[in-house]
């Protein structure tokens, strides 16, 4: 099938005149996979339609938020009803406490939460808060983990252990990353060495408890427990960045799944039901340092926006009420899909391996297993690009990068799964043609 792309191509050309690369977030430009990005005009359930009328089974789900599927009626109605009363007041509204209440119900250790407008704002604020609470400067992140684009977090992978971060983006002075340590994920020894070298100096460790941003990479057995023990021993705050995993892996996110209690949690994506929301939360003892109660400043014009609160509330209420059906079904269907595509690859003699936790997963065109950035980086991104383009051409929309997680929604059907596996069989056969 040769997909028509004239309209999308025209829209891309127009957008490029006014927006860098024609996109408002780099990954959407398809630089990592090649080909021309379709311009989406409609989503419904597990499907998307582009400007040329092509239909796709969608496994991006807006990079995680659309766990109920696109244009879920209960979410659309909630937003519409809220909008009829006004879109933003810059004043408190009842919906903010409504959403706070259900978020706190998912994370028992959390006593207070503050809403912001993106995951980046959430992680940036949580780190500022951790530094204020501990009166320490150093922070630890892990290679291959992404926590948004705040300066201190845009560091290149450190070469070896406990090397101070070097800026990973133009425009970030090295002074802004000199207190950021970038360590290998799933490596407890590296962490121990860093804490030995910077004893009592590390404010926080921020981690994706299940990594999505190098592709899906789960924590090794005992790794999160080690993280918790080492940070506790040195009185360093442990921040679980659950922007992606929160309400995705379980209603209580990765911390419910792995039974680990971080000190602070950052959230985003699903809690906004597809509208811009981020959040950070933890015990009152820490959160009460945030203005106006305490000296840690953080603010936002659209924080707690009524429409975003309504969309998040509708989504989380539905997830909470139906969690006993939704999460097991997401797990089952995702397992079928991930294994089915991997089998298709094997039968075509294409070497891939995959990681999956619940409904987030990645097929790696790399030697198995993929357990950290070093092993993920061994992926054949050209081969992934060919696979991606063949799938897109035949109506399956995967995340346009080898180093991203794919997502299933509650709207995906058994038919979607079988169709996707059949399309993968064709794609692998093509790759070997
Ligand atoms: P935002 O600022 O994009 O809302 O959230 C940043 C962020 C923080 N923490 C984690 C674990 C995240 O995955 C993200 C953002 N995720 C990417 C996808 N890997 C967003 C997609 C994009 O950048 O376009």
| Cα–Cα distance, 165 to 280 (Å, whole number) | 24
In the prediction, which pLDDT does 429 show?
A: 86
Phi, psi for 154 (deg, rounded to 5) = -95, 75
**Number of helical (H) and strand (E) elements in the chain, helices listed first:** 13, 14
Nearest CA to ligand 1 atom 21: 63
314 in contact with ligand 1, CB cutoff 6 A: no
Q: What are the Cα distances from residue 38, in Å, to 23, 25, 86, 161, 384?
A: 12, 15, 33, 41, 18
Return the biggest CA–CA distance within the chain: 65
Q: Which residues of the chain have pLDDT under 50?
A: 158-161
Distance 118 CA to ligand 1 centre (A): 8
> Which among 27, 40, 124, 148 is the best mutation to test ligand 1's pocket, defined by most ligand atoms within 8 Å of the CB?
148
pLDDT in tens, 167-226: 889 999 999 999 999 999 999 999 999 999 999 999 999 999 999 999 999 999 999 999
241 in contact with ligand 1, CB cutoff 6 A: yes
Distance 137 CA to ligand 1 centre (A): 24
Nearest CA to ligand 1 atom 19: 213
| Cα–Cα distance, 185 to 164 (Å, whole number) | 16
Distance 342 CA to ligand 1 centre (A): 26
In the prediction, which pLDDT does 392 show?
A: 97
In the prediction, which pLDDT does 160 show?
A: 45
> Which among 215, 244, 271 is the best mutation to test ligand 1's pocket, defined by most ligand atoms within 8 Å of the CB?
244
| Cα–Cα distance, 60 to 416 (Å, whole number) | 14
Domain boundaries, the chain: 6-71+323-432, 73-318
236 in contact with ligand 1, CB cutoff 6 A: no
Distance 146 CA to ligand 1 centre (A): 7
| Cα–Cα distance, 81 to 170 (Å, whole number) | 43
Going by the DSSP 8-state scheme, the letter that residue 325 receives in this structure is H
239 in contact with ligand 1, CB cutoff 6 A: no
213 in contact with ligand 1, CB cutoff 6 A: yes
Tokens for 148? 């948004």
CATH, range 6-71+323-432: 3.90.1150.10
From 360, 341, 34, 335, select the one nearest 214 (Cα to Cα). Answer: 360
Nearest CA to ligand 1 atom 22: 25
Distance 148 CA to ligand 1 centre (A): 5
212 in contact with ligand 1, CB cutoff 6 A: yes
| Cα–Cα distance, 268 to 366 (Å, whole number) | 30
63 in contact with ligand 1, CB cutoff 6 A: yes
The number of the ligand 1 atom at minimal distance from the alpha carbon of 123 is: 8
123 in contact with ligand 1, CB cutoff 6 A: yes
CATH topology of domain 73-318: 3.40.640
Nearest CA to ligand 1 atom 24: 25
Catalytically annotated residues: 146, 241, 269
37 in contact with ligand 1, CB cutoff 6 A: no
Give the H or E element holding residue 140. strand 138-142
| Cα–Cα distance, 57 to 412 (Å, whole number) | 8
The number of the ligand 1 atom at minimal distance from the alpha carbon of 278 is: 4
- Tracing tokens 């442990």 back to the chain, one arrives at 238
> Which among 29, 124, 147, 312 is the best mutation to test ligand 1's pocket, defined by most ligand atoms within 8 Å of the CB?
147
Distance 373 CA to ligand 1 centre (A): 17
The answer to whether residues 8 and 51 touch, using CB atoms and an 8 Å cutoff, is: yes
In the prediction, which pLDDT does 433 show?
A: 57
Hey, which bits of 269-419 come out as E strands?
278-282, 353-357, 360-364, 396-397, 406-407
Q: Buried (b) or exposed (e) across 307-338, using 16+ Cβ within 10 A?
A: bbbbbbbbbbebbeeeeeebbeebbebbbbbb
372 in contact with ligand 1, CB cutoff 6 A: no
């Amino acid at each position: 099938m040769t997909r028509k792309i004239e309209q999308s191509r025209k829209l891309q050309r127009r957008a490029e005149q006014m927006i860098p690369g024609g996109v408002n977030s780099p990954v959407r430009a398809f630089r990592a996979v090649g080909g021309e990005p379709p311009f989406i005009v409609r989503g419904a359930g597990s499907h998307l339609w582009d400007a040329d009328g092509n239909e796709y089974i969608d496994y991006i789900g807006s990079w995680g938020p659309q766990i109920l599927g696109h244009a879920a009626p209960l979410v659309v109605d909630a937003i519409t009803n809220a909008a009829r009363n006004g879109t933003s007041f810059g004043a408190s509204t009842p919906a903010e406490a409504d959403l706070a209440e259900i978020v706190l119900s998912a994370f028992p250790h959390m006593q207070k939460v503050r809403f912001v407008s993106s995951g980046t704002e959430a992680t940036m604020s949580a780190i500022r808060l951790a530094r204020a609470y501990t009166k320490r400067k150093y922070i630890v992140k892990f290679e291959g983990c992404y926590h948004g684009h705040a300066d201190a977090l845009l560091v290149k992978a450190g070469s070896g252990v406990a090397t101070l971060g070097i800026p990973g983006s133009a425009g970030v002075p090295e002074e802004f990353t000199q207190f950021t340590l970038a360590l290998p994920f799933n490596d407890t020894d590296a962490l121990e060495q860093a804490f030995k070298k910077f004893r009592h100096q590390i404010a926080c460790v921020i981690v994706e408890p299940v990594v999505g941003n190098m592709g899906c990479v789960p924590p090794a057995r005992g790794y999160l427990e080690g993280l918790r023990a080492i940070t506790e021993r040195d009185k360093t705050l442990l921040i679980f960045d659950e922007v992606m995993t929160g309400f995705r892996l379980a209603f209580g996110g990765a911390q419910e799944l792995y039974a680990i209690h971080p000190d602070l949690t950052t959230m985003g994506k699903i809690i906004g039901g597809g509208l811009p929301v981020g959040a950070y939360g933890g015990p009152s003892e820490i959160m009460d340092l945030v203005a106006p109660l305490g000296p840690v400043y953080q603010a936002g014009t659209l924080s707690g926006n009524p429409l975003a609160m309504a969309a998040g509330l509708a989504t989380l209420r539905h997830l909470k009420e139906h969690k006993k059906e939704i999460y097991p079904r997401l797990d089952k269907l995702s397992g079928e899909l991930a294994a089915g595509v991997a089998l298709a690859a094997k039968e075509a003699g294409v070497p891939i391996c995959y990681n999956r936790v619940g409904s987030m997963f990645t097929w790696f065109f790399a030697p198995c297993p993929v357990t950290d950035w070093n092993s993920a980086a061994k992926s054949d991104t050209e081969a992934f690009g060919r696979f991606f383009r063949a799938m897109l051409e035949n109506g399956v929309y995967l995340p346009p990068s080898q180093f991203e997680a794919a997502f299933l929604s509650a709207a995906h059907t058994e038919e979607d799964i079988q169709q996707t596996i059949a399309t993968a069989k064709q794609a692998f056969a093509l790759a070997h043609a």
